[in-house]
Amino acid sequence: MLVVAVSSRALFNLEDGNTIYEQEGAAAFGAYMRKHENKPLRPGVAFHTVRKLLALNSHGMHDKVEVILLSSNTLDAGARVMKSVTHYRLDITRAFFTSGGDRFRIAKAANVTLFLSTNPAEVKKALGCGIASATVIPTSRLPAPETESAPLFIAFDGDSVLFDDSAERVNQLEGLDAFRASEMSNAKVPLGDGPFKSVLLALHEIQTSFEDRPDKPLRIALVTARELAVHERVLRTFRTWGVTVDEAAFCGGLPKGPILEAMNAHLFLDDGQHNVESARHFVPTCHVPHGIQADMAAAA
């Protein structure tokens, strides 16, 4: 099962309340939420993704995906969030409110596979606890109407996301020529596990339950900046893991955004800020602050 934890601010638009929290404090935020308790919150940046994930359970196969609300709010302030879940008929049955306490002890105990948030610092904490996590990036582009009924399409970057950052480390520290030489000489050596391997394996398990159906409700893609010449190690890694992807794009430096749009991707996850910036103008995008690019950005 894929267990997805989502923060309140990612699932719903809490920016007005968050401004009150930052400027006036927790008590004023709680009072604001209680005052508007019966007014449904607007959908947030992860809302459409969550709804598509939950829809996988409606294809004759139940219990494939569980979504958990994982909030740092108090229970009192969270009442409006829970009423909004009911308003939008989201099939979310579990919620945890920690009043600013450590959410990720709860997440580990609940076997969370993936955590989605709008708070980069919290995402980094979750990654440090061994939970695949990503920052959902705000975008003005809503899913096209035709994609609402289309299969859920999730695209991943490779290095530092599905795979470890060993290859990307060579690329960043020694240059592209050294990267090519290293990947070719290690073509038969599988790449190490990245933070999102567990997510890929869970999605692959869901896919296998639909393998006899012509109208598969889930598609997975690899969209990597790698060029074709260094594809073999990627293929070797997937075969070692026993997984397949529906589409693979070896972009060779092309901007990823237009390619993801052409794929009708519902969600893209990448560790590189430049790729995130390209993609977010075309499809819903998440940043994975992991690996050498994240380290270099933090040190800058």
Tokens 């990448």 belong to residue = 270
* 157 belongs to the catalytic site: yes
Measured between alpha carbons, how far is 74 from 96 in angstroms, rounded to an integer?
Answer: 9
End-to-end CA distance of the chain: give it in Å, rounded: 39
Q: Please give the helix or strand (H or E) that residue 276 lies within, else none.
A: helix 273-280
Pairing of strands 132-137, 285-287: antiparallel
Q: 16, 91, 157, 193: which is the annotated catalytic residue?
A: 157
What is the edge-to-edge ordering of all strands in the sheet holding 132-137?
Answer: 94-97, 65-71, 2-6, 114-117, 132-137, 285-287, 267-270, 152-156, 218-224, 247-250
Q: Nearest CA to 234 among 282, 200, 271?
A: 200
Could you tell me the sign of the dihedral formed by the alpha carbons of 128, 104, 45, 161, in that order?
positive
Report how far Cα 194 is from the mean position of its chain's Cα atoms: 14
**3 state SS of 251:** coil
Measured between alpha carbons, how far is 42 from 127 in angstroms, rounded to an integer?
Answer: 28
Tokens 């919620």 belong to residue = 95
Measured between alpha carbons, how far is 117 from 11 in angstroms, rounded to an integer?
Answer: 8
Catalytic residue numbers?
A: 157
